[in-house]
Amino acid sequence: MDEIFRISFSSVFLFRSKRSAHDAIEQVLEYLDSDYQWVIDLDVEKYFDTVNHDKLISTLDKR
């Protein structure tokens, strides 16, 4: 799935091959040096427990 969603989620580091926490920190530091003014911190620990899995699979199949 990494290949499928790499373009759509290019800035995501979680569970991505060849990307580490150090890479994420480096990206944050680059953002701090640029014009970015917002940071969003999300806790999605139980998010996937509430997802309609049939709809999710259907959406993934379309990709």
Q: What is the pLDDT of residues 3-48, one digit of tens each?
A: 666 666 667 776 677 778 888 888 888 888 998 788 788 888 888 8
Verdict on whether the full-model pTM lies above 0.75: no
Angstrom distance (rounded) from CA 56 to CA 29: 34
Q: Which residue type does 5 have?
A: F
Torsion angle in degrees (nearest 10) through CA of 3, 4, 5, 8 = 110
Domain ranges of the chain: 2-62
Q: Is the pLDDT of residue 55 over 80?
A: yes
